[in-house]
């Protein structure tokens, strides 16, 4: 059987991994690979994805996959691309899939280097907004006001004090041809974006909002629902930017207040316990509204 | 055998690397490594070398690019020094663990703070436990020769480890020396293309860099140690082949210089060994029974070969250019550990001769 035919028959990310119940990342990765097809090499930094997919002797990966260390997935990907080109195996594409810790924080230097060189890598950040693999510590991707184990809510703290790093804009400023945001709650949209990204060469970046039942603390059957609420309240704007211009926006059909999104997650529970918290919720609503305004999420 | 030319040490290394036909070169500049990677960059710019040259934003990424390229089945190369080698450290440990056989030149330079660009061995010695094979060279000619062997040793199916050729910054990289080069055809016969059994390939998908629980962890680490310690005869064979290729004696894991009947044996590595040979000659002429033990291959540590060379001496005097803070010199520690308990082992005296 040829490699291509075989791909149509079998999923490229199969059962047997050790993700938590309701993990948005495991779902996302399966669909990412459906969109890329099997002529890919996947690179991942250390993180949840690495840990739950690679217990030695077992693997759900049906594509070649490599993990090296935490902060170097972009450079590993560059090395693979260089080798493929040197060997004339350019038909094989390289996809990096990393969490927000490996992307926003510790791997950011290597990512910026890769983007500046324009290496032919599709870099996908499965963003769950904290270091989940180690128990939910704050990252630069953690949204403001969310409580984490290293930026907890307390008598003098309303959770994370700083805004989420605007990585898609920073990435886009490198002048790469394709940047998009997506959500595992909208898999059709997600796959369409992956497929479009695969039509470009050079560095491309897709950031996928990936709810985490374990650390965001919601019942594990609500993963997709939480993802949808994030998008439809305006906190998670979904867009595509091609060659520096926004070319598509996912419109919100029915806007929901941010409280519908926040009150289902224990990481925001402290906001509902105090008067100060209520004021903070108003700020979160203002943030959502400014996203809606900035991207035109409601306009016809 | 072909050309004899007077070239700078860095150029000799760049020409050796070129002769080895790497697919991928990646580097970040740091003194005194720069002339090597500039030389290779010019070759790439002129189309004289058929390699992807990746200009990265840090040494960390340089080593990472090599790891990715090597896993994908390509021969790859970098060079660095000092802080750059320290920045690579995590990547080098993981690359040894994943058995990725690239080659790097460690251009020896001291470590900050205080910042300084002169040569000592603190940088490469800090990597001695990483699972890299380490050679130290005496001359520009030896630097050229050992780079030819480095890829073959790294890629040997029974070894499969990164190899680091250490050469003293400035003293070797920026000195001009008469160098005899090897014909490309002879190098090609000596070093066939890299053809690893496993590499990243969608036709045979494999999972690389797994999470290993405690039941497997020690097995992986032991496998590295075994590849090194049991790989010594294979390294020796390759060095014999190298000697046949170059017409020079590059054969030993150590070089014992005038040790016959020596009561005192000086031990050193790197460029200082040339000077020590002169000193030994003068002392011998003055009737003193003195010899030199040069350690060419530092990891794996050739303790059996060393024992055979020094067992009849009364005193071994080690000239260390690196130091384990709170303890003593690196080579002195190794020698004491490996000679301890041997009958009538000579006394080891360790001198830290130059942290600059």
CB A86 within 8 A of CB A32: no
pLDDT for the residue A10: 74
pLDDT number for residue B355:
78
pLDDT in tens, A46-68: 999 999 999 999 999 999 999 99
Nearest to A216 by CA among A226, A229, A206: A226
pLDDT at B354: 77
Cα A176 to the center of its chain, rounded Å: 18
Subunit contact B57:A116, Cβ cutoff 8 A = yes
Rounded CA gap, B80 and B85, in Å?
A: 6
Contact B286, B297 (CB under 8 A): no
pLDDT at A220: 97
Chain A: give the shortest CA distance to residue B14, in Å: 19
Chain B residues in contact with A95 by the CB 8 A cut-off are: none
Q: What are the structure tokens assigned to A130, written together?
A: 């904290």
Interface touch B68/A66, C-beta < 8 Å: yes
pLDDT, position A9: 59
| Chain A residues touching residue B94 (CB < 8 angstroms) | 68-69
Q: Around Cβ A15, how many Cβ atoms within 10 Å?
A: 8
Q: CA B291, B121, B70, B224 torsion: positive or negative?
A: positive
Are A76 and A43 contacting, i.e. CB atoms less than 8 angstroms apart? yes
Chain A: give the shortest CA distance to residue B304, in Å.
Answer: 35
Nearest-by-CA chain A residue for B215:
A56
Interface contact A83-B73, CB threshold 8 A: yes
Whether B232 and B253 have beta carbons less than 8 Å apart is answered as: yes
Residue B141 C-alpha, separation from nearest chain A C-alpha, in angstroms: 30
The answer to whether the Cβ–Cβ distance between B23 and A65 falls below 8 Å is no
Nearest CA in chain A to B193: A87
**B199, closest residue in chain A (CA to CA):** A64
Q: Give the pLDDT confidence score for residue B2 in this predicted structure.
A: 73
Q: Would an 8 Å CB–CB cutoff place A83 in contact with chain B?
A: yes
Q: In whole angstroms, what is the distance from residue B64 CA to residue A73 CA? A: 8
> For residues A274 and A293, what is the distance between their CA atoms, to the nearest angstrom?
29
How far is it, in rounded angstroms, from Cα A223 to Cα A289? 23
Taking one residue from A and the other from B, the number of pairs with CB-CB distance under 8 angstroms is 166
> First and final CA of chain B: distance in angstroms?
38
CA distance A197 to A194: 5
**Bond preceding residue B114 cis, omega within 30 of 0:** yes
Residue of A nearest to B28 (CA): A113
Q: CA-CA distances (angstroms) from residue A44 to A14, A28, A135, B74? A: 17, 14, 19, 20
CA-based nearest distance B103→chain A, Å: 14
User: What is the phi/psi pair of residue B303, to 5°?
Assistant: -65, -30
Number of neighbours of residue B342 by Cβ within 10 angstroms: 12
Pairing of strands A40-44, A65-67: parallel
Query: What are the CA-CA distances from residue A231 to residues A81, A95, A291, B68, B227 (Å)?
Result: 34, 25, 11, 36, 53
Residues A149-180 as b/e (b if ≥16 CB within 10 A, e otherwise) read eebebeeeebbbeeebbebbebbbebebbbbb
Other beta carbons within 10 Å of A269: 16
Inter-chain residue contact B209 with A54, CB threshold 8 Å: yes
At residue A216, the pLDDT reads 97
User: pLDDT by residue for chain B (356 residues), tens digit each?
Assistant: 579 999 999 999 999 999 999 999 999 999 999 999 999 999 999 999 999 999 999 999 999 999 999 999 999 999 999 999 999 999 999 999 999 999 999 999 999 999 999 999 999 999 999 999 999 999 999 999 999 999 999 999 999 999 999 999 999 999 999 999 999 999 999 999 999 999 999 999 999 999 999 999 999 999 999 999 999 999 999 999 999 999 999 999 999 999 999 999 999 999 999 999 999 999 999 999 999 999 999 999 999 999 999 999 999 999 999 999 999 999 999 999 999 999 999 999 999 987 77
CA distance A135 to A267: 13
A82/B64 touch (CB, cutoff 8 Å), yes or no:
no
The residue written with tokens 């170059």 in the block is B246
In a 3-state reduction of DSSP, which class is residue B124? helix
Class (C level, CATH) for B4-198+229-245: alpha beta
Average pLDDT over residues A230-248: 98
Instruction: Evaluate whether A128 touches A100 at the Cβ level (below 8 Å).
Output: yes
Paired with B274 in beta bridges are none
Segment A236-265 mean pLDDT: 97
Determine the number of helices (DSSP H) and then strands (DSSP E) in chain B: 12, 15
CB-nearest partner of B208 from A51, A67, A119: A67
Residues A184 and A208: beta-carbon distance below 8 Å: yes
Average pLDDT over chain A, rounded to whole? Answer: 96
Do domains B4-198+229-245 and B254-352 share one topology? The answer is: yes
Task: Write down the pTM of the prediction.
Answer: 0.97
Positive or negative: CA dihedral A17, A18, A22, A25: negative
Looking at the complex, does the CB of residue A43 fall below 8 Å from at least one CB of chain B? yes
**What's the CATH code, domain B254-352?**
3.40.50.920
Question: Structural domain boundaries of chain B?
Answer: 4-198+229-245, 254-352
* Length in residues, chain B: 356
The Cα A135–Cα B297 span in angstroms is 44
Q: Name residue A41's beta-bridge partners.
A: A94
Instruction: State residue A5's pLDDT score.
Output: 56
Q: What is the mean pLDDT of residues A215-239?
A: 98
- What residue ranges define each of the domains in chain A, with the CATH number in brackets? 3-295 (3.40.50.970)
């Amino acid at each position: 059987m040829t490699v291509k035919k075989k791909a149509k028959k079998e999923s490229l990310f199969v059962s047997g991994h050790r993700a938590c119940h309701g993990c948005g990342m495991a779902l996302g990765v399966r669909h990412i690979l459906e969109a890329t097809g099997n002529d890919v090499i996947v690179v991942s930094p250390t993180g949840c994805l690495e840990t739950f997919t690679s217990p030695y002797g077992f693997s759900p990966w049906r594509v070649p996959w490599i993990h090296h260390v935490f902060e170097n997935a972009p450079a590993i990907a560059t090395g693979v691309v260089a080798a493929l080109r040197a060997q004339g195996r350019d038909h094989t594409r390289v996809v990096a899939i990393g969490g927000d810790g490996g992307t926003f924080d510790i791997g950011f230097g290597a990512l910026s280097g890769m983007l500046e060189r324009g290496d032919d890598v599709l870099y996908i950040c499965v963003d769950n907004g904290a270091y989940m693999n180690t128990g939910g510590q704050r990252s630069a991707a953690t949204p403001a006001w969310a409580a984490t184990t290293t930026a907890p809510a307390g008598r003098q703290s309303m959770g994370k004090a700083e805004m989420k790093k605007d990585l898609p804009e920073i990435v886009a400023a490198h002048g790469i041809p394709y940047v998009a945001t997506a959500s595992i709650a909208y898999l059709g949209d997600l796959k369409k974006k992956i497929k479009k990204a695969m039509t470009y060469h050079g560095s491309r970046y897709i950031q996928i909002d990936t709810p985490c039942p374990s650390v965001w603390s919601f019942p594990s059957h609500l993963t997709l629902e939480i993802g949808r609420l994030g998008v439809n309240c305006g906190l998670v704007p979904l867009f595509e930017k091609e060659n520096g211009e926004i070319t598509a926006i996912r419109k919100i059909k029915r806007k929901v207040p941010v409280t519908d999104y926040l009150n289902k997650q224990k990481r925001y529970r402290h906001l509902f316990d105090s008067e100060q918290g209520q004021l903070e919720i108003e700020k979160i609503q203002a943030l959502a509204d400014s996203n809606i305004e900035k991207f035109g999420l409601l306009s016809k | 055998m072909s050309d004899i030319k007077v070239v700078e040490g860095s150029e000799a290394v760049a020409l050796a690397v070129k002769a080895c036909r790497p697919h991928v070169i990646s580097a970040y500049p740091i003194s005194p490594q720069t002339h090597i990677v500039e030389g290779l960059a010019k070759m790439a710019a002129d189309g004289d070398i058929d390699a992807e040259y990746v200009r990265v934003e840090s040494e960390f990424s340089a080593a990472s690019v090599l790891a990715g390229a090597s896993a994908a089945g390509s021969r790859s190369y970098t060079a660095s020094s000092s802080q750059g080698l320290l920045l690579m450290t995590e990547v080098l440990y993981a690359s040894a663990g994943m058995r990725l056989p690239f080659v790097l030149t460690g251009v020896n330079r001291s470590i900050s703070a205080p910042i300084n660009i002169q040569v000592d061995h603190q940088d490469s010695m800090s990597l001695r436990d990483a699972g890299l094979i380490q050679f130290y060279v005496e001359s520009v000619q030896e630097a050229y020769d050992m780079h030819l062997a480095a890829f073959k040793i790294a890629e040997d199916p029974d070894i499969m480890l990164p190899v680091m050729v250490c050469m003293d910054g400035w003293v070797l990289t920026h000195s001009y020396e008469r160098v005899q080069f090897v014909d490309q055809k002879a190098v090609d016969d000596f070093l066939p293309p890299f053809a690893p059994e496993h590499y990243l390939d969608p036709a045979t998908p494999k999972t690389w860099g797994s999470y290993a629980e405690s039941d497997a962890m020690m097995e992986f680490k032991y496998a590295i140690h075994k590849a090194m310690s049991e790989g010594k005869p294979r390294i020796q064979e390759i060095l014999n082949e190298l000697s046949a290729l170059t017409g020079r004696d590059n054969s030993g894991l150590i070089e014992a210089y005038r040790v016959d009947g020596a009561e005192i044996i000086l031990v050193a590595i790197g460029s200082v060994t040339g000077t020590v040979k002169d000193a030994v000659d003068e002392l011998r002429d003055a009737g003193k029974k003195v010899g030199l033990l040069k350690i060419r291959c530092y990891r794996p540590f050739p303790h059996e070969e060393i024992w055979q060379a020094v067992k009849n001496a009364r005193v071994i005097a080690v000239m260390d250019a690196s130091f384990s803070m709170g303890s003593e010199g690196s080579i002195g520690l190794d020698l004491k550990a490996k000679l301890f308990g041997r009958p009538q082992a000579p006394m080891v005296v360790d001198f830290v001769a130059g942290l600059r």
